[in-house]
Amino acid sequence: MKQPRLTIQKKMMRREIKSFNNFFSAEDFFKRVASKDRKIGIATVYRFLKNLREMNKLYAYVCDRRFVYSRKKVSHCHFICEETGKVIHFDVDSLDFLKDKIPGEIRSFQLEVRGSCNECRSKSFPK
What is the reported pLDDT for 78? 85
Which pLDDT tens digit goes with each residue over 37-77?
999 999 999 999 999 999 989 998 888 778 889 888 877 88
23: left (phi over 0), alpha (psi -120 to 50) or beta: beta
116 and 93 share one domain: yes
What is the reported pLDDT for 112? 86
Q: What is the mean pLDDT of residues 10-18?
A: 92
- C-alpha 24/C-alpha 87 separation (Å) is 15
3 in a structural domain: no
Strand, coil or helix: 26: helix
13 and 66 share one domain: yes
pTM, two decimal places: 0.67
Are 77 and 62 in contact by the 8 Å Cβ rule? The answer is: no
CATH code for the domain in which residue 116 is found: 3.30.1490.190
How much is the mean pLDDT over the chain? 86
Domain range enclosing 35: 8-70
The total number of structural domains in the chain stands at 2
Q: What is the CA radius of gyration of the chain?
A: 19
21 and 65 share one domain: yes
2 in a structural domain: no
What is the reported pLDDT for 29? 96
